[in-house]
Structure 1
Amino acid sequence: DKRRFYDNLATEAEKAAGKRDLRTLYQITKSLSGKRPTQAKPIKDSQGKPITKEEKQIKQWADHFKGLLNRPPPATRPEIPTTAHTQLQVDTNPPTRAEVLNAIKLLKAGKTAGPDGIPPEALKADPETTADMLTPLLQK
């Protein structure tokens, strides 16, 4: 009887996998694992006694975060260095054909297409031609 029950569950799981019904497959797998979600332990009050009533737990959390987050401002303000005068070494020129070609070669196969809908495999099919087509667009 137990064997038939597990065979039926296995058949249902195979059907769900065939239909790509991940919800049903997950539920069957979860039921077979035998693990049940553990209930949260009651929180403790300031004296260390467990609080079982939900309203009191919510009040305890509110008091905890009020004490944690409501602090007086520091006596002195921290010194934060300004970066307005710092020159960053960032190349803002349009990309060269060599840079475009290198970027195309670095694309990973099997990844999802970007917003343009072009998969990486299509761009990598002929990197030279792709670089010739993309470079003028990227230099505008």
Structure 2
Amino acid sequence: MKHFYESLKCVYGPTTSGTSPLLGADGSLITKKNEILERWAEHFDSVLNRPSDINDEAIQRLPQVPINHALDTPPTEEEVVIATRQMLTGKAPGSDAITAEVFKSGGRYLILKQTELFQELWQSETLPQDFKDATIVHIYKRKGNKQSCDNH
């Protein structure tokens, strides 16, 4: 068995661990892990937080529609049931490690507890930080320099 794994390592190469070097915004090579993480944060901040290109005059010219007050009602149990049915199965779970299958097989009690939670959040007009947090994963496009953030 030992020779089998050694053979695989020869064919596929050693497994890489750690963080790959990355090019800084100025083109310099970054090798320290904390600096690489800071560079990724800087890159995603610049990509995801761009100023709006929408012209304010164009917005003012849009026709105004009446406010739909029906949208200002707390979520109902039926809406939670519908949303749960629409969840896709067979997908990777989020950071909470709960799959859609768990919600779909949770039954009436889970639906009631979810409805209570959503209604409480609606009334308090707040969301827990866990609901706001996201995990961003960079995936190399296999084109261009792997050390450039723009190729991920």
Q: Does TM, normalized by the shorter one, top 0.5?
A: no
**Structure 2 length-normalised TM:** 0.36
The one of the two structures with greater contact order (alpha-carbon pairs below 8 A, sep at least 6) is 2
**Structure 1 length-normalised TM:** 0.39
